[in-house]
Structure 1
Amino acid sequence: MEISDLIVSQHDVKGKILVVDDQIVNVKIIKKLLQEDYDIFMATDGDQVIDVCMDLQPDMVLLDIEMPTVNGFEVCKQLKANPLTANIAVIFITAHFEEATEVKGLQLGAVDFIHKPINPIITKTRVKNQLMLKQQSDLLRSFAMYDALTGVANRRQFDQRFAANWRHCIRDKEPISIIMLDIDVFKQYNDNYGHQQGDNCLALVAKTIQQTLKRPCDLVARYGGEEFVCILPQTDFCGAEHKAKSIIDNINALKIEHGFSNVSDYITVSAGVATVVPHKEMQQDMLLELADKQLYLAKSNGRNQVASIEISNIS
């Protein structure tokens, strides 16, 4: 992924803002004020915010402090404690003017305050400024979290996302699946077609895997060399196996010539799949190790295929 691609993508997409207030009239006022410049989403209950943010991944949350079930301070605390939502910018909207209130909010990770009654010019300016700062921060962060050659996540981002997804699947008693992928006979490809062509092949394979996954919550990362790994949270064994087969089919459909392979006339990949519904006594590395063993089995059985396992009652 080129730097210019990241910059262009930021300017081409509207910012997403989640407005949270238990008074629907306040939500409508803010929506009307900002909807021409941003994609506005709404919630009226603090309990909804974490799940909505996990699915939506907004750039910013405009968050009322006083709400009947879970107040804004607690919502902000939960958002900042979760690696998947920690980078969302939070602006508190409040009728309170006390210095102690602002100190507490800023210590919890909020970036600014907007006071009621809403001043349109102040609100639009503060939202614009904070979203600009977030874009710059996201851009810098992306350079540290993505593989420069392929544009997919790197090991650092994989480790963070895997740990977060693992915890959430434990909490929700949901399955999580790992797909380990390796390009077959890639050394011979590099040796005979050259490293530049090998790099082009890696980038195209990575892009194809990413396009096959589709769901925003799924992640593909370059694990090392010609090896990739996919995290599929809330994905059962059948779903993960089907996705792995789709990846293999889509790589085959690229028809990248490989005249030095003993598997096919084209580039192929092998895949190992492991699925589990995790619990607190389990170590997440266990799932990775089992997926890697399945990958080795797929290669031993002739490559260009999937080997898979579903684990239960393993601590």
Structure 2
Amino acid sequence: MSDKTLAKGKVLVVDDNPQLIKMLSAILRGFCSVSFATSGEEALQVAAKQQPQVILLDMQLPGMDGFETCKALKSSAATANAAVLFVTAHSEADFEVRALELGAVDFIAKPFNPAVVTARVKTHLLLAAQTEAMRELIERDSLTGIYNRRYFDKQLGGEFTRHRRQALPMAVIMLDIDHFKLYNDGYGHVAGDECLRQVADILSSGIRRPGEFVARYGGEEFCVVRAHTTQEEAAKTGVYLCERVRNAVIPHEFSPTGAYLTISVGVVSFVPRQGMALQDVLECADQALYQAKKSGRNTSCVNSFD
């Protein structure tokens, strides 16, 4: 594992002993980013914000003890994937069994050996990096490099739940490259693949806010999810994305719509509520996309979701 990769690793130390925090800081700061918390409650807040790959957790903490903190960390979607290592003087089998059952992955014995701490933390940072790389492979479209349908389905469900809990609006936008079959037939499949990559880059570079993402939905169709977005804002986004693709002036001499590549866009904005089905939302966006195509393409249409 390279020093550059390790430097991206984040470790959270949870302990109420200033001396131990100082010692662990001296060991870890040489190869990763380190943050600290002195209680279980503070650990949950810091971990949710910092998203550490590794958490060194003391058993004896004020308020929530190590077991309670570990359980809470593993129960939260924001911190469930972090590797929890108990730093403890306990070596009884019952202690280790309970810790493992709660989601811990390793132990560092007190008094600790700096070489052992370094080796174990580096091992779990490496595992985290490998897991993230594998996740990227699984969730990325191999042709365009943007997110794929698998990621879209999973992430849309998460955003839907979050917005329902907060009673806030969000938007789903479906986009289709106009006359892409004619482009493929006219320029060839190699050029068609490059066209898909160009459009993916144009769309993804225009969507950057937290909670927003672009995914390849299938073939020449893409989807955009926008967080905290009203219908008016979503409508503007649809027009904006049309303009971005049109202004890229990608030649399409085989298109009946114009001399350059264009897209059609279907937009729906809604506040998720109990009993609302995601499939109905997608169908609503698809209907708006159909209307855009029916209206002559190279345009964006908005559909209301009741």
TM-score (ref. length: structure 2):
0.83
Pick which of 51-60 and 32-41 moved more: 51-60
2:252 counterpart SS class: coil
Q: CA deviation at 1:96?
A: 4.0
Cα 1:210/1:95, change in 2 over 3 Å: farther
What are the residue-to-residue correspondences of 1:144-183 with 2, within 5 Å? 144-183=138-177
Equivalent in the alignment of 1:209: 203
Q: CA deviation at 1:275?
A: 1.9
> Is 1:91 the counterpart of 2:85 in the alignment?
yes
1:230 counterpart SS class: strand
Deviations 1:20-47 (A, max 9, x none): 5363835565444323422334555655
Equivalent in the alignment of 1:301: 295
1:258 counterpart SS class: coil
Provide structure 1 residue ranges, at least 5 long, that are not aligned to the other structure.
Answer: 1-6
- In the aligned structure 1, how far is the partner of 2:84 from the partner of 2:160? 25
2:7 counterpart SS class: coil
Checking the alignment, whether the CA contact within 8 Å between 2:11 and 2:52 is kept in structure 1 is: yes
Give the aligned residue type for 1:34. L
Equivalent in the alignment of 1:21: 14
Checking the alignment, whether the CA contact within 8 Å between 1:176 and 1:235 is kept in structure 2 is: yes
- In the aligned structure 1, how far is the partner of 2:70 from the partner of 2:199? 39
Aligned residues: 305
Q: CA deviation at 1:264?
A: 2.8
- In the aligned structure 2, how far is the partner of 1:270 from the partner of 1:187? 14
Equivalent in the alignment of 1:38: 32
Q: CA RMSD in A?
A: 3.2
Over alpha carbons, which structure has the higher Rg?
2
Pick from 272, 277, 291: which aligns with 1:278? 272
Q: CA deviation at 1:54?
A: 5.9
Equivalent in the alignment of 2:180: 186
Q: CA deviation at 1:215?
A: 3.0
What are the residue-to-residue correspondences of 1:97-112 with 2, within 5 Å? 97-112=91-106
1:275 counterpart SS class: strand
Q: CA deviation at 1:186?
A: 0.8
Provide structure 2 residue ranges, at least 5 long, that are not aligned to the other structure.
Answer: none
Give the aligned residue type for 1:258. H
TM-score (ref. length: structure 1):
0.81
Cα 1:113/1:266, change in 2 over 3 Å: farther
Indicate the percent of aligned positions where both proteins have the same amino acid: 39
Q: CA deviation at 1:262?
A: 2.4
Cα 1:226/1:71, change in 2 over 3 Å: farther
Checking the alignment, whether the CA contact within 8 Å between 2:172 and 2:223 is kept in structure 1 is: yes
Cα 1:258/1:234, change in 2 over 3 Å: same
Checking the alignment, whether the CA contact within 8 Å between 2:11 and 2:32 is kept in structure 1 is: no
Q: CA deviation at 1:203?
A: 1.2
Pick from 104, 127, 131: which aligns with 2:125? 131
Q: CA deviation at 1:274?
A: 1.6
- In the aligned structure 2, how far is the partner of 1:243 from the partner of 1:300? 20
Cα 1:162/1:132, change in 2 over 3 Å: same
Pick which of 277-286 and 68-77 moved more: 68-77
